[in-house]
Amino acid sequence: MLPWSGIQLIMVWTGFSCLSSRLLVGVTQWNLRILRITGGTARGRSVESPIGLEIRPTGAKVRQALFNILAFRMNGARFLDICAGTGLVGIEALSRGAQSLISIEENRAVAKAVENSLKKLNLEGEVICGDWKRVLPILEPKSFDIIFADPPYKSPYIKDIPLSVEKHDLLADGGLLVIEHLKGYKFSQECAVLTLQSTRNYGQTSLSFFSKGEDSE
């Protein structure tokens, strides 16, 4: 546990997923992108993201649409943020009432920035630095009410996210898995338990919603 209460940074070494400590130290020397939380107790507060890495934060309009859909689910939710990037979605989930947060980010410097944002906002969360494909198995038997994933749009592993979530039984009964992706991407129907309920488009960005059984968002 780190010196400040409630914030924990866990490093999961995958051989290539975490950047060097030299780059981690350099995070404070980069220009920072300032992002604003759009709702909840921390509304209007900023989250800093280092510029110079391939990070694509979820846009404010998409975030607002996402949390409007999830509004009645947020209070007390256990939230998992896969490919967290800036950590903004998970941090905003805490701001809007989520009970707990685990953020997974494979870039060490960016994971450190998420940790710093949680500390600055006095929010409790756990940040795991590692490749999500290796991290999800070690989360079992935890389960989550809401799982959000924002992988790189060109990642060949987008299709594997619902399969991995299902395999490790990470989605609670009645929970939702939401995946952000480029408009036009189609998921195969390979899951036995998770069902693709809907896909909503916001410009060139789409959100796909998966649930267990026939539950809808």
Which residues, 6+ apart, have CB-to-CB distance to 168 below 8 Å?
A: 136, 137, 139, 140
Helix axes 60-74, 88-95, angle to 10 degrees: 40
Domain residue limits at 171? 7-212
131/112 Cα distance (integer angstroms): 15
* 69: CATH: 3.40.50.150
- Name the average pLDDT for the chain: 84
Tell me whether residue 11 is in a domain: yes
Q: Is 189 helix (H, G, I), strand (E, B) or coil?
A: coil
Tell me whether residue 2 is in a domain: no
121/124 Cα distance (integer angstroms): 9
Tell me whether residue 55 is in a domain: yes
Closest alpha carbon to 190 in 172, 216, 210: 210
Residue 35 tokens read as 């992002």
Q: What pLDDT does residue 21 have?
A: 29
181/159 Cα distance (integer angstroms): 10
Tokens 């060949």 map to which residue? 156
Closest alpha carbon to 162 in 45, 108, 154, 175: 175
181/154 Cα distance (integer angstroms): 9
Q: What pLDDT does residue 49 have?
A: 73
Question: What confidence category does residue 50 fall into, taking pLDDT thresholds of 50, 70 and 90?
Answer: low
Which residues, 6+ apart, have CB-to-CB distance to 72 below 8 Å?
A: none
Total number of domains in the chain: 1
Query: Is the model's pLDDT at 190 over the cut of 80?
Result: yes
89/52 Cα distance (integer angstroms): 20
Tell me whether residue 123 is in a domain: yes
Tokens 């890495």 map to which residue? 53
Q: What pLDDT does residue 188 have?
A: 86
Percent pLDDT > 90 in the chain is 66
Q: What pLDDT does residue 53 have?
A: 52
Q: Higher-confidence residue: 216 or 154? A: 154
Closest alpha carbon to 58 in 37, 41, 73: 37
Tokens 């079992």 map to which residue? 140
Tell me whether residue 38 is in a domain: yes
Tell me whether residue 89 is in a domain: yes
Tell me whether residue 130 is in a domain: yes
Tell me whether residue 1 is in a domain: no
The predicted model gives 9-29 an average pLDDT of 40
